Amino acid sequence: MVMTSSLSDDGIEAMRAVMREPGRTLLATDFDGVLSPIVDDPQTATALPAAITALGRAAQCLGQVAVITGRPARQAVELGGLDQARGLDELIVLGQYGVERWDAATGEYQVPPEPRAIADVEAALLTVLEQAGHPQARIEHKGRALAVHTRTLDDADAAFEALRGPVTALADEHGLKVEPGKLVLEIRPSGTDKGDALKALAADARARTVIYAGDDLGDIPAFEAVRELRAAGLNALSIYSLSSEESAVRSLSDLVVDGPEGFARWLARLADSLDVRANAFAHGG
């Protein structure tokens, strides 16, 4: 049985603020493991239709809705069908942990050039995997990042641990950093994380309430940003989308939902509440 949590006191306060001032609320969410179930081949991930529908409904009332992902922005837009989704015509997608941006309002992508160090590491990576005894680990080129996946290997956990050191050493050599995830080591330039991305979005949107949903180690900076924003006087809520593989994020969250299905249900309830509120105002209630 999946154990989910009830809302923390700070979370209750934040939800009251959302209902009071939805137009001053930023709702930001990770893609994989939150809108989209985790799959063996990341190229085949798709967003849950129920999650996208509910996100589009909620977006009608909220100040800003955004997706913040480690994926290239274009890939998240395509896999999520985010350029076709009803109600998401003001959506912002921040890709590569905030380095790339797509605006639904204009359809434009802002994608800076790939760092040279990524190509250099890619050229050396297979040799490092071979020397560590796991040449079958899958290398994914993600534009400004490289990912080494051990998910499809028989000894996935052992391979992950065996590769962690050598891959980190290679990244260090080229001035890059390694972000460990669920059976994946992601190599990318330092200086960008989901926490910086979330804080910048909150400032741009002049948000008084911020909600962030994530599921993985790469989301920890965003969960920490939620705490910082709260300390700075905003209402803020972090939601952990429960996964069987990663629980280190859980202790930082205000609410635990049961994976992407649970998050889709939570979004639908939020959209329902916002509809009720909008109707009450429409009828002078």
**Residues engaged in binding Mg ion (CB under 5 A):** 30, 32-33, 215-216
CB-nearest residue to Mg ion: 33
Instruction: Please identify, using beta-carbon distances, which residue of 216 and 254 lies nearer to Mg ion.
Output: 216
Instruction: Please identify, using beta-carbon distances, which residue of 33 and 259 lies nearer to Mg ion.
Output: 33
Give one DSSP letter per residue of 197-216, joined into a string.
Answer: HHHHHHHHTT-SEEEEEE-S
Under 8 Å between Cβ of 207 and 63: yes
Task: Quote the CA–CA distance of 107 and 230 in Å, as a whole number.
Answer: 32
Q: What angle do CA 47, 77, 62 make, to 5 degrees?
A: 80
User: What Å distances lie between residue 220 and 30, 187, 223, CA to CA?
Assistant: 11, 17, 5
Minimum CB separation from Mg ion for residue 235, in Å? 24
Minimum CB separation from Mg ion for residue 34, in Å? 6
Residue 97, classed as helix, strand or coil, is: helix
Give the number of other Cβ atoms within 10 Å of residue 31's Cβ.
25
Minimum CB separation from Mg ion for residue 123, in Å? 28
Minimum CB separation from Mg ion for residue 69, in Å? 7
Instruction: Please identify, using beta-carbon distances, which residue of 179 and 216 lies nearer to Mg ion.
Output: 216
Minimum CB separation from Mg ion for residue 215, in Å? 4
Instruction: Please identify, using beta-carbon distances, which residue of 36 and 64 lies nearer to Mg ion.
Output: 36
Give the number of other Cβ atoms within 10 Å of residue 44's Cβ.
9
Q: Show the DSSP H helices in the chain as ranges.
A: 9-20, 49-59, 73-80, 116-131, 156-173, 194-204, 220-231, 259-282
Minimum CB separation from Mg ion for residue 260, in Å? 10
Instruction: Please identify, using beta-carbon distances, which residue of 63 and 193 lies nearer to Mg ion.
Output: 193
Instruction: Please identify, using beta-carbon distances, which residue of 72 and 166 lies nearer to Mg ion.
Output: 72
